[in-house]
């Protein structure tokens, strides 16, 4: 089962993206695209002529996807949570380097914003892993998912993760790193055809990674995990439809003022109890 989930994580992520588009359309009272539209987009990209800036740019994009997929595989096989977070960090670094490797000002601005976003959320993910260790006595995902629900002992940490979800999923109000109206997509702007397909599939895989972290808080209670993931999904979409984008410096300040403080308070509470 683990290998199946890991192997088809990009497919599941694409399906979730299709559901996301349908839900968003209904929230905005419009018809919207069909459920399978993300899959249609993937096949359409394969028919477009690829334009390569230079080989390093392409290699970094592929490495971004492979590292992200590896982090999903580690998660599904119950691996070390810190290794999973650091592998995910490596995938983001590859993407940032890809943005810096071309001359496009939009790509550079997107890479700058992606780097600032990384500095905002990565410490909180590490604090979350430490919280799981203090609660479950291990960093192993297999151990965490065999324990009682961590949301009971770490509600503040779960709220901190909820604050990060729009940032990781490039949703309002934290979609500044991508910002299509300003940056035309940011770091992905110079990819096209099959090469952009790799970045597109990476986005779909990122969805699975983010909601897998949400599922961790349910421990061994699978039904609770489904409820947490579903509730988080609709909450993120509600916030996305009700808010506008904020500036990248405000993004960093708000994340540290809310999520980072909550994560520290959660660790303090766990240590005290």
| Residue numbers of the domain that contains 185 | 50-272
Residues near 73 by beta carbon (within 8 Å), at least 6 away in sequence: 6, 9
Distance set, CA 270 to CA 131, 151, 162, 219, 263 (Å): 7, 12, 19, 17, 11
Determine the pLDDT at residue 273.
Answer: 65
Determine the pLDDT at residue 33.
Answer: 86
In a domain, 192, yes or no: yes
In a domain, 104, yes or no: yes
Cα separation, 124 vs 262, in Å, equals: 9
* Residue 178, token pair as written in the block: 């991508």
Determine the pLDDT at residue 183.
Answer: 64
Q: What does the pLDDT look like over 254-264, one tens digit per residue?
A: 999 999 999 99
Q: pLDDT 10s per residue in the chain (273 long)?
A: 666 777 788 888 989 988 998 998 888 888 888 889 888 888 888 777 777 778 898 999 999 999 999 999 999 998 899 999 999 999 999 999 999 998 888 888 889 999 999 999 999 999 999 999 999 889 999 999 998 899 998 999 999 999 999 999 988 888 877 776 666 667 888 888 888 888 888 989 999 999 999 999 998 999 999 999 999 999 999 998 888 888 888 889 999 999 999 999 999 888 776
Quick check: 64 and 44 in contact, CB under 8 A?
Answer: no
In a domain, 86, yes or no: yes
Cα separation, 122 vs 108, in Å, equals: 21
In a domain, 108, yes or no: yes
Quick check: 256 and 120 in contact, CB under 8 A?
Answer: yes
Q: How many structural domains does the chain have?
A: 1
* Residue 246, token pair as written in the block: 């904020």
In a domain, 12, yes or no: no
Determine the pLDDT at residue 1.
Answer: 62
In a domain, 2, yes or no: no
* Residue 139, token pair as written in the block: 């960093």
Q: What does the pLDDT look like over 194-228, one tens digit per residue?
A: 888 888 889 899 999 999 999 999 989 999 999 99
b/e for 225-255, b at 16 or more Cβ within 10 A?
Answer: beebbeebbeebbebbeeeebeebeebbebb
Q: Given the structure tokens 């993931």, which residue do they identify?
A: 229
In a domain, 169, yes or no: yes
Determine the pLDDT at residue 10.
Answer: 84
In a domain, 80, yes or no: yes
Q: What is the DSSP letter of 34?
A: -
* Residue 244, token pair as written in the block: 């506008």
């Amino acid at each position: 089962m683990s290998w199946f989930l890991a192997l088809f994580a990009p497919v599941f992520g694409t399906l979730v993206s299709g559901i996301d588009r349908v839900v968003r359309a209904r929230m905005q009272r419009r018809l919207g695209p069909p459920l399978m539209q993300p899959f249609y987009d993937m096949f359409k990209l394969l028919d477009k002529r690829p334009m390569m800036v230079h080989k390093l740019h392409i290699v970094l994009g592929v490495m971004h996807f492979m590292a992200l997929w590896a982090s999903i595989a580690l998660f599904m096989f119950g691996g070390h949570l810190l290794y999973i977070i650091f592998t995910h960090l490596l995938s983001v670094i590859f993407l940032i380097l890809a943005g810096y490797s071309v001359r496009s000002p939009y790509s550079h601005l997107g890479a700058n914003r992606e780097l600032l976003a990384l500095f905002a959320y990565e410490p909180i993910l590490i604090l979350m892993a430490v919280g799981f260790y203090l609660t479950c006595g291990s960093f192993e995902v297999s151990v965490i998912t065999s324990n009682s629900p961590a949301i009971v002992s770490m509600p503040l940490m779960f709220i901190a993760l909820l604050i990060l979800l729009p940032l990781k999923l490039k949703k309002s109000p934290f979609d500044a790193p991508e910002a299509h109206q300003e940056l035309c997509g940011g770091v992905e702007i110079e990819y096209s055809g099959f090469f952009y397909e790799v970045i597109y599939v990476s986005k779909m895989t990122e969805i699975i990674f983010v909601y897998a972290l949400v599922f961790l808080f349910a421990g061994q209670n699978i039904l609770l995990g489904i409820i947490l993931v579903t509730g988080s999904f609709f909450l993120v979409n509600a916030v996305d439809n009700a808010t506008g984008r904020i500036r990248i410096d405000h993004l960093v300040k708000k994340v540290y003022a809310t999520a980072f403080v909550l994560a520290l308070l959660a660790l303090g509470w766990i240590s005290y109890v």
